[in-house]
Homo-oligomer: A and B are copies of this chain.
Amino acid sequence: MRGKTIIERPEILASTADDRGQIRQIILNSKLFQESDAECVESMFDLALARPTPDNYRFLSAWQNGTMVGFACYGWESLTHRTWDLFWVVTLPEARRQGIGGALLDEAVRIATVEGGRLMVIYTSSTGAYAAARKLYESRKFVRTAVVPEYYNRGDDLHIYSRRLQETL
């Protein structure tokens, strides 16, 4: 029998100010996103830390073997009745297929549900690069409820996934 590396179960924690640089690196190393995305996430991160109110963005960091390997950003969608939005779930390429995205998603769903969330929605792309992400959402009972053709670009539709929260507790 070949030896098998022990892979720690990821630990999901609320992100702290110290995580900012690592979140940036995870985005830039994700092979899915680029500098403009990193800037977008950083501005959300700064807003979240500057004013940690219930209606602001929330960040979660995933830790494995002492390293930060992923993060999620989610929050209550303003102007809705208890609808939450999962804005980002990103893991490092070398840490994929180990349940980290799922653990981040589960924790976001758990907190949103505890805080009275009614619905969670996720916006994603129809392209092949996001196939694993879409599969992850579907594995967590998110249903693709809407498609906006060519939203991101020609040949790149917006897929909206949603999941009712209270009844899945």
Contacts and interface: CB of A to CB of B under 8 A. Distances in A.
Contacts of A148: 121, 145-146, 160, 162
A80 interface: yes
A121 B118 CA distance: 25
Q: Which range contains the number of A residues in contact with the other chain?
A: 20 to 34
Contacts of A158: 146
Contact of A40 (B79, B119, B149): B79
A46 interface: no
A80 B153 contact: yes
Copies of this chain present: 2
A38 to B, nearest CB: 11
A152 B37 contact: no
A152 B78 contact: no
Contacts of A40: 78-79
Interface string A144-159: 0111111111101010
Contacts of A36: 78-79
A2 B40 CA distance: 58
A90 to B, nearest CB: 13
Given A146-B147, A146-B160, A160-B146, A80 B119 contact: no
11 contacts: A36-B79, A40-B78, A83-B151, A83-B152, A118-B153, A118-B154, A119-B151, A121-B151, A145-B147, A146-B158, A148-B162
The 3 closest A-B CB pairs, nearest first, are A146-B146, A81-B153, A146-B148
